Structure 1
Amino acid sequence: MSAVNDTKFKSVMFFLTGIAGQEYLHLWISIPFCFIYVISIVGNSVILFIIKTDPNLHEPMYIFLSMLAVTDFGLLIATIPTILGIFLFNSREISLNACFAQLFFIHSLAKIESSMLLLMAFDRFIAICNPLRYASILTPQRIAKMGLVFVLRGVAVALPFPILLKRFRYCRANVLSHSYCLHQDVMKLACSDITINYIYGLFTTLFTFGLDSLLIFLSYMMILKTVLSIASHTECLRALNTCVSHLCAVLLFYTPNIGLAVTHRFRNGSSHLLQILLGYVYLLVPPLMNPIVYSVKSKHLRARITRAFVK
């Protein structure tokens, strides 16, 4: 009997959702999605190539930016197959193990991206509040260690998600709300008590996104305090201008993240379309906009990109 149950468990399929009610437009909707993916991949590739090949950009700020670009690459690779599969080929089925693998990568990479934004806030904090010790504090070895710690944190925090979900039996209509798998979406389809999953999901949100956003906020409070003490108005604006691109990246990441978490917790009929749209914004907009924002705001990076393509 156990063997029969295990076979049934392993054969469970989930059904992904594109944009409900707009299935007849999916082929047309795939065009902007393909465009977004191409621009995101090219943009992040250019950022990585320029930073790697220009020794003048081997500074902490640009090293953290390259880490962010690699994380965005991971999120794109984790979501491209299922999203484009739905819109181009109406391929909605995803196996249990493939779904669990995808949600693990999405959650771990999202938490790593949050950590990269925290490290970039720390970089701005040191650069503005303690500039004389900037080079001695943010050494390449220390940057590598901090990056490794936060990568391990993201992986360790997300690893229990598929393990916890694998304990359940799924006997309901296994239709997910998005074009990809999320822990908070899959756990609602289980025919078991999901209290542990709910509590652990809340804990990981507070431990990663909550803690990171709090530390980023405190960093900017200290930065603002330091900047306001500068007598020169020009120097004050110059210091704040170095933070604009990072603040944009923080808003692009955390705003849809918080919105998606809220709609999943307090979902009702009228918020379903909003939940779907926030899901796409959450995964697609940061990888698309981060290279653009940093290229526009960073004078050195912009100049290097211009020299590379305009000769």
Structure 2
Amino acid sequence: MAEMLAGRLHLTDRALRMETVPVPEPGHGQVRIRVEAAGVCLSDVHLIDGTLTPLYLPDDAVTLGHEVAGVVDAPGEGVDGWQPGQRVLLQAGEKDRRGTVFTRGVDYDGGWAEYAVASQETLVPIPDDLPFEQACIIPDAVSTPWAAVTDTGRTRPGEAVAVWGVGGLGAHAVQLLRLVGAAPVIALDPLPAARDRALTLGADLALDPGDVALRDTVLAVTGGRGLDVAFDFAGVTPVREQALTLLGRRGRLVLAGIANKPVTIASDSPFTYLQQAVLGHYGSEAEHVVQLVSLAAQGRLDLAASVSDVLPLAEAPEAVRRVQSKQGDPIRLILRP
């Protein structure tokens, strides 16, 4: 039986182990993919440290990795339209008939491996000139903020927006907000390097959330009206409290970061009078990934700067350590089998 290397999380002791396991065989309607690149997300770190726990995993171990791109290796029985050699990325998960979402690398084996198996419906073709390292992060790292910007936040051209937390998701949110015509785009992050990065990615202004003159600055650059949409990608209670004070009439606060804390509105009177809203956001839909692949293929979206480093698959534990410690303040680290 052929074997391969895989990064397996064992839930009993929350240990990530690099193990030799059998190469998976595709079942009916499934396709085996030769993995070329897989992203390392903060969610992977949270699965390892116990902050997150799989809801539907039938076993006590899983191969991590929900951001995956590669080449079709072997179509299974009943597969139509997919041939060996095709370049693809994999959707980060799939729904069953009841609408339950099962996440790759969480509820079933993911792409921190030499090969991965995927339902044919979750494959998305990618163009030859889109590098695997960039393609793999489109599901989640790019599609989550894209869905937050376009669907949940319903951001319109000319609206004043702000992004708290210019990390793996927030950095892409800055790019995507500029793409849809939001203006001004304000980035907020306590790290100077993150603020500099936001300006490079297209933010009109990058501010320290601890600046005592922050409110005055935001009101000045928005013509006194405040923010139309505020995006919390930090998942920190003080961010929500600060963002609510900067919203204008009909302003929306989109919660994309998870704090596991209560959301408090200081006073319902101005909140109601100004017809403001707090909106929860999680993940993305399949169409968002397809849209982003199209934008990248047409040169509207450049993800080259998102690839902070590429490491061999065998160094997955080191990649996790670097993401957890924020060493080098990476947008995304990529594993290459």
**What is the TM-score when the length of structure 2 is the normalising length?**
0.24
Question: Greater strand share, 1 or 2?
Answer: 2
**What is the TM-score when the length of structure 1 is the normalising length?**
0.26
Higher Cα Rg: structure 1 or 2? 1
Bigger relative contact order (CA 8 A; separation at least 6)? 1
